[in-house]
Amino acid sequence: MTRPITLTVAALGGQGGGVVTDWLVLTARSADYLAQATSVPGVAQRTGATIYYLEFFPRSALRDGREPVMALMPSPGDVDIVVASELLEAGRAINRGLVTPERTTLIASTHRDYTIGEKSSLGDGRASETELLAGAASAAARLVTFDMAAVAERAGGRISAVIFGAIAGSGVLPWETRHFQAAIRESGVGVEASLLAFEAGRVAAAAAKAGTGVKPASTAGNTAFAVSARLADDLTARIAGEFPSPLHELLTRAVARLVDYQDARYAGLYLDRIADMLRREPRPNESTRLTEVVARSLALWMSFEDVMRVAQVKTRAGRFEQIRAEVRAAPTDLVRVNEFVKPQVEEICATLPAALGRRLLASPRASRFLSRFTSGRRVCTSSISGFLSLRVLASLRRLRRGTLRYVTENARIEQWLSQIRGLAGSDYALAVEVAECQNLVKGYGSTHERGWRSFGEICALAEGLVGSGRGAQQVRALREAALSDDSGAKLAAAIANLRLAGSA
């Protein structure tokens, strides 16, 4: 050898990149290699992201007492192995030039930890996993990918041990498996669990390298079967008997969501609406694009988040076990869960009977009185009193159909469906785009208000675009403008340009 082996680990905070680095150093020494490791902390819009850089050189290759000069930082085009603990981190490494098709083996997990920007986007702000994987395949000399987070969960260990196993299983370092295992044992912490997760990662990486890795089976069918078992028999039979097979999975999931949200009768109303939309399809045996879009959007809209829904989710069975698992609490550890609650006057009135809610909203005196209850509060749901208070609130969903929020949302839904039905016969593509506009309405408070305002403005303009030949394209452009800017300025500019072009 005339140069060291160079390796970079890109990991998020909490994933154990430092542990992997320590293990690699111990492994190198066990295999009689010189090793040097450095780390540079950074940020990744989620948690700390650290780049760990290591170089290895065999003592057997030393000549005349000379030792190699090792670098402290990775250089673009000079890294042999890049390990990414998450898919977007692989993309960052590629963007930095650390991955090259002439030299680099890229080992990456295919799971995602979404950035703040991806989560807070008004539309679908997620980076395309397909594009990330395609970029990785073209940028690297060799690519080894699998879902390390899923493997760690199945093995009952930490993702750091799976990452370490992936490095061993990919065969990129000239060391035997026993050297890697010896490093874990020498560390002396969580040895048995780490060895199990290491072996699971090693096997998965070896299979992925050989091209024989089996992708995790899709849970879509299993999930659909599981939720259908919870549905009333008549709803399950109705989906199978009234709707074409391409819609079955979507409708099964939607109906399960609505049964959980309200009840079987409410889910039946959803199917009534979708059946009516299916009749508007010009060729239902060939394409059900409009029905698919409406089915997806309507399921989300009909399960709008109100106070009762939030209380139901926060007290759902299994949530506390999930929280304990996320914080890795031991069986003897006490975990306190505080929920932060800050309702607005409008949200309080929305949970009341429609007539009373309207009267209170119209009364300045009543609004001032209710504003006393809008200050931020903490509810400890790990206590009996806190948990029961939310459970009582969740149980009020039986009265949801009479609340102001339900009456308001139901009227808006009917108006939206009526518009789509009217457009479907004259401009099918435009009807599809109006159906897609439902994704503008989301969140709560001011976010919900802005979304509803944008939704209303676009739907109002859609009627005047029928027969223009470009109506669908124009509505799509307006929707994208609304989703790209939460201030509404881009949508206002797009509407102004559209009206200007129409008057020209």
| Each residue's pLDDT tens digit, 38-50 | 988 876 555 667 8
Q: How confident is the model at residue 223 (pLDDT cuts 50, 70, 90)?
A: very low
- Among 269, 303, 337, identify where a domain stops: 303
- Between CA 1 and CA 60 the distance in angstroms is 9
Pick from 185, 164, 186: nearest CA to 175: 164
283 and 204, same structural domain?
Answer: no
Res 348 pLDDT > 90:
no
Task: Report the DSSP beta bridge partners of residue 43.
Answer: 48
154 and 47, same structural domain?
Answer: yes
**b/e string for 338-371 if b means 16 or more Cβ within 10 A?**
ebebebebbbbbbbbebeebeebbeeeeeeeebe
**b/e string for 177-192 if b means 16 or more Cβ within 10 A?**
eebbbbbbeeeeeeee
Which pLDDT score, from 0 to 100, does residue 44 have? 53
- Among 303, 318, 353, identify where a domain stops: 303
Instruction: Tally Cβ neighbours within 10 Å of residue 193.
Output: 15
177 and 73, same structural domain?
Answer: yes
Kindly report the length of the chain.
Answer: 504
194 and 285, same structural domain?
Answer: no
| Each residue's pLDDT tens digit, 63-97 | 887 888 898 999 999 999 999 999 999 999 999 99
Question: H or E element: which one contains 292?
Answer: helix 289-302
- Between CA 54 and CA 49 the distance in angstroms is 16
333 versus 272: the higher-pLDDT residue is 272
386 and 429, same structural domain?
Answer: no
Res 461 pLDDT > 80:
yes
Q: How confident is the model at residue 469 (pLDDT cuts 50, 70, 90)?
A: confident
The total number of structural domains that make up the chain: 4
299 and 311, same structural domain?
Answer: no
Burial of 32 (0-12, 13-18, 19+ CB in 10 A): exposed
Amino acid at 207: A
| Each residue's pLDDT tens digit, 434-450 | 999 998 887 766 777 88
Place of tokens 């990991």: 11
Which pLDDT score, from 0 to 100, does residue 214 have? 40
49 versus 492: the higher-pLDDT residue is 492
Containing structural domain, residue 376: 307-402
| Each residue's pLDDT tens digit, 418-435 | 999 999 988 999 999 999
- Among 303, 336, 361, identify where a domain stops: 303
For the chain, give the mean pLDDT. 87
Which pLDDT score, from 0 to 100, does residue 330 have? 82
100 and 70, same structural domain?
Answer: yes
* Greatest alpha-carbon span in the chain: 93
Instruction: Tally Cβ neighbours within 10 Å of residue 65.
Output: 5
- Between CA 478 and CA 480 the distance in angstroms is 5
**β pairing state of 338-341 and 377-380:** antiparallel
In percent, the amount of the chain with pLDDT more than 90 equals 55
45 and 109, same structural domain?
Answer: yes
Which pLDDT score, from 0 to 100, does residue 499 have? 80
Res 412 pLDDT > 80:
yes
478 and 431, same structural domain?
Answer: yes
149 and 78, same structural domain?
Answer: yes
Which of the residue ranges 149-158, 182-191, 212-221, 303-312 would you say has the lowest mean pLDDT?
Answer: 212-221
Burial of 93 (0-12, 13-18, 19+ CB in 10 A): buried
| Each residue's pLDDT tens digit, 109-168 | 999 988 877 877 777 778 889 999 999 999 999 999 999 999 998 998 899 999 999 999
246 and 130, same structural domain?
Answer: no
On whether the CB atoms of residues 85 and 149 are closer than 8 A, the answer is no
- Between CA 459 and CA 113 the distance in angstroms is 35
CATH number, domain with residue 43: 3.40.920.10
